[in-house]
Structure 1
């Protein structure tokens, strides 16, 4: 049991790292893509929007596959999908095909979050689940930092960069295929409900409706602020703060180091004071620090403010364990995935919307608007139950089942 727990932790971290890598690379490559393909700011924003729309679609597809056919199969399928369509960008002939490929890649990218979150909730006990989930999701800033390094080596050759990044997904796919076991909690629950087919209707009705709606609203508001800000951050630094491309890569890498430390630090805090309380704290923290970052003109101050506001984006890492705990095993991937990925689907409008705002109030003004979404998300979080409330511990359930089976055979 303990060995399986650590294999899941490491494998899910690596899978989500590559997930993050593919997403962040687009933001870093947008300036070069715009020049090479002659795209407007609005068209470039649509590329990010297409990715997030695909992620939104995966909220239904990914959860359905994971809850009906197993966590392992769903994770492998997700990795193959986004790796294949990311690598295909290397030969994209025009803007329309680029949009289609990003949408299709988004379907795989979004499904990864649902599966790794369910895996962690079902293999780690309550007392350390916040830290475990935060560590896995901290793969996102780690992937972002890796993306900054890779972009510095490959750009302006963005086609080769996407080819290498997409092909490299073979590594986490192999690890999951060879070393992962199916979630024992899911397998036991599936055996007890062998004829049941899970669908999104199960989380939109009865006692689960309220937490699904509120969880989705919280995620949508928080992720609208997040994707609106991070998609255009490299462009903001280049156009409004006059940083050269090599400096932008350094700034983004330092910012992601702050994110990584924040995800793990707040993960420990979540296990101490509660996940919902920590989520609210981080949302308010980024709502305060982002406007300061947007209004700062000194480049040295910008470099060190980045990891500060980045650390407060730790809510991203806490959503995995918190949302997963709100739903029972049978619908966990569907419920948590619906909340998070529909939220990401709604946030698909953020890159496009911020591109329009930039023409009126600049990218710095747009970043300040994003801060307001974080504050609203904190208000919605107050309406949700505390962590563990109305949610059973799947690890404890599994242990109890094993003990009962052992007693029955004595």
Structure 2
């Protein structure tokens, strides 16, 4: 087993590895502050990805889009996310998590501002595609930092809080969108929301300056001296927040991965290939149903006779249902394990999607939509907590990025399939097809997925 060099380590650390030093740290206000920064990052990211769910109808009306063109408009951002996630994953494993997390904000922030001035389908799709590249780049960096800087007993719970933040932010966004469209009309209302996203990006840039680099990543690259300094600085902040000396590291039975470059080829190294294929297949199946449903919820309400304002109000109610789901899922994953919770959630969201497809009255649509949203947020929490634990530190961001890309490929296809499915089998058939996607995902986790609860990321990927 390999231990990282520890020049400059605090008293009591001895020659323990970076992993052993991390796993003995108490959870303090310092880690909570890092988690809060990552929560704000993911919340803004989630709002931008979900914003068209209830703005697609006013965008379509203003730009004169057909139903098929609306599907293209909705899918364009995910094409960018898919490309951005893979590229950023490789860059994160090569140049570090912090740089990517900070600098991607400039790209999607400016692109969001320019989207407010889109004049037709082509300009709208192009700018949303560029926005997607920046958004996709954030995912590998943020969740790699959670996996590498947070205690094994807190990773899923913190991921749950990230989803809580995103759910609250989405609800607030929908309220603001409703007010904007009511006060200044559809055409100016949806454009104002993209200006708001630009302002949120500028705020996020300011906040992210204070994020730290991952000592685990530095060690995995063979940069032991830098890893030791970063680890000592991290321990110093934790000790200051803790108010007393840190406990000694646990027995050094955890091995840091040998230094390797974060390339796509490393995802198929011995012991990693099966997990890579599993993660890719899981994200592809889940995201086909996830975004096929969420991107069209608002517009399908309008198509069924509801006004745009009423559809947004229903959207606020449905989105609110996801807030408790994220925290509950994170907590249950820490107690019951990743596999059991994810499988249960997949089965419940499959049933909820079927119920939503059969719904006819607006009251029943709202009720089943809220239940479906509850389990879909729970699903997202499970997926984002579980996936980083499947990959080694040296390729974690690349693995998460490429998995996200596989998900975004199906996220592009999902919204585009909805008009075809509705025309062929109606609303019931469309939601039944997506329910099947969730069922397939549950089988994948049951038959192939490893259990990672309570393990350090080194042990989880051994």
1:162 matched to 2:194? The reply is yes
Counterpart position of 1:71: 97
Question: Where does structure 2 lack aligned partners over 5 or more consecutive residues?
Answer: 1-24, 227-258
Counterpart position of 1:93: 119
Give runs of aligned pairs for residues 127-138 of structure 1, distance below 5 A.
127-138=153-164
Counterpart position of 2:48: 22
TM-score, with normalisation over the residues of structure 1?
0.90
More helix by proportion, 1 or 2?
1
1:395 to 1:86, Cα distance in 2 relative to 1, 3 A: farther
Measured after TM superposition, the shift of residue 362 of structure 1 is 3.1
Counterpart position of 1:317: 381
Measured after TM superposition, the shift of residue 191 of structure 1 is 3.8
Name the SS of the counterpart of 1:143 in structure 2: helix
1:388 matched to 2:416? The reply is no
1:119 matched to 2:183? The reply is no
Measured after TM superposition, the shift of residue 225 of structure 1 is 0.2
- Counterpart Cα distance in 2 of 1:389 and 1:396: 8
260, 274, 280: which one aligns with 1:210? 274
In the alignment, is the contact (CA less than 8 A) between 1:59 and 1:342 conserved in 2? no
- Counterpart Cα distance in 1 of 2:364 and 2:396: 43
Measured after TM superposition, the shift of residue 393 of structure 1 is 3.2
Question: Where does structure 1 lack aligned partners over 5 or more consecutive residues?
Answer: 398-410
Aligned residues: 395
In the alignment, is the contact (CA less than 8 A) between 1:236 and 1:364 conserved in 2? no
Name the SS of the counterpart of 1:91 in structure 2: coil
Counterpart position of 1:43: 69
- Counterpart Cα distance in 2 of 1:317 and 1:106: 20
Give a deviation string over 1:298-327, Cα, whole Å, max 9, x none.
222332322212111112111122111111
In the alignment, is the contact (CA less than 8 A) between 2:390 and 2:460 conserved in 1? no
In the alignment, is the contact (CA less than 8 A) between 1:326 and 1:391 conserved in 2? no
Give a deviation string over 1:101-142, Cα, whole Å, max 9, x none.
111111111222211111111122112211111211333323
Give a deviation string over 1:203-257, Cα, whole Å, max 9, x none.
13432111111111111111100100011100111112x2222222222122222
- Counterpart Cα distance in 1 of 2:301 and 2:369: 11
- Counterpart Cα distance in 2 of 1:88 and 1:188: 40
342, 365, 384: which one aligns with 2:406? 342
1:263 to 1:395, Cα distance in 2 relative to 1, 3 A: same
In the alignment, is the contact (CA less than 8 A) between 1:186 and 1:330 conserved in 2? yes
- Counterpart Cα distance in 2 of 1:183 and 1:4: 14
Could you say which structure has the larger radius of gyration?
2
- Counterpart Cα distance in 2 of 1:337 and 1:298: 40
